[in-house]
């Protein structure tokens, strides 16, 4: 069986449609977790959220403004940033754990029990969270150099959470194996990453439009939910590629 991007995409699409409601519930739960963490960690979010959103792309002005702030205002801003980063990392880890868990349950037939799978998700949650933190730092560092290196690094590391969860190895092993596999099969990985980035950009543009129609919290929740669904599809695609790679037909890759 010869593997193609079209075959992987169609296979991922079929699984996504067939199991949409399970994936939707996981995405919804992840979005709720993200908003809940932001709400409780940062009760004074409204005081600086508008300022942050207006100036997050103007780095020089933002740093200058921070230096001129009162200490109490700086603390509020750092709490805002900490809230955003924490909610992003934890919510994405929950989404990764949930989606990879059901994929493993359907395709690898390991510990074919929901109770065992949920237990594994809980056990591996700290490792997955560490993985997400490491990947975020590495990718952000690459993006600071230029956008393309950041996307290339992300593509190389994209399989590492799947390897970590399915093979039950450590973070370093998973990153090394992900780089080894992805580098040789970039024609399958990179286009899927670009498709995901492009889809997210469209959703972000739509969210700016709908922000004047629906309430801010509803708009943010909708943005979180749709982005989670897009990320879920990417995870499914990468997982299916990894399954094809580790099976007996991987020589065709």
Q: Which of 4-8, 21-25, 116-120, 139-143 has the lowest mean pLDDT?
A: 139-143
Rg of the chain's alpha carbons, rounded to an integer? 19
Name the residue among 6, 237, 206 with its Cα closest to residue 229.
237
- Give the residue numbers spanning the domain of 146: 5-252
CA atoms within 13 A on the CB side of 11: 18
Q: State the pTM of this model.
A: 0.82
Number of domains in the chain: 1
Q: CA–CA distance from 11 to each of 15, 16, 19, 97, 194 (Å)?
A: 6, 9, 12, 21, 19
pLDDT digits 0-9 by tens, 89-115: 888 889 998 898 888 887 766 556 667
Each residue's pLDDT tens digit, 142-158: 556 566 777 888 889 99
What element of type H or E holds 111? none
Write down the pLDDT at residue 17: 93
Which residue, 98, 175, 177, 195, is CA-closest to 133? 175
Report the pLDDT value the prediction gives residue 252, as an integer from 0 to 100: 41
């Amino acid at each position: 069986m010869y593997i193609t991007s079209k075959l992987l995409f169609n296979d991922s699409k079929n699984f996504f449609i067939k199991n949409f409601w399970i994936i939707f519930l996981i995405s919804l739960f992840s979005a709720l977790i993200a908003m809940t963490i932001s709400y409780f960690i940062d009760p004074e979010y409204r005081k600086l959220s508008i300022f942050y959103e207006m100036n997050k792309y103007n780095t020089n002005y933002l740093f200058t403004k921070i230096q001129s702030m009162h200490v109490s205002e700086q603390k509020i801003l750092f709490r805002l940033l900490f809230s955003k980063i924490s909610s992003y990392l934890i919510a994405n880890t929950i989404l990764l754990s949930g989606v990879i868990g059901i994929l493993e349950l359907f395709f690898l037939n390991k510990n074919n029990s929901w109770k065992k799978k949920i237990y594994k998700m809980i056990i591996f949650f700290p490792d997955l969270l560490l993985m997400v933190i490491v990947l975020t730092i590495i990718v952000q560092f690459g993006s600071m150099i230029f956008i393309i290196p950041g996307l290339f690094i992300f593509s190389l590391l994209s399989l590492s959470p799947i390897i970590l969860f399915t093979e039950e190895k450590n973070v370093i092993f998973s990153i090394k194996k992900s780089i080894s596999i992805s580098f040789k099969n970039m024609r399958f990985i990179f286009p899927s990453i670009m498709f995901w980035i492009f889809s997210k950009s469209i959703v972000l543009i739509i969210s700016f439009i709908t922000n004047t129609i629906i309430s801010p919290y509803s708009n943010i929740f909708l943005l979180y939910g749709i982005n989670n669904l897009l990320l879920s599809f990417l995870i499914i695609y990468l997982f299916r590629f990894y399954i094809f790679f580790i099976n007996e037909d991987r020589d065709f890759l």
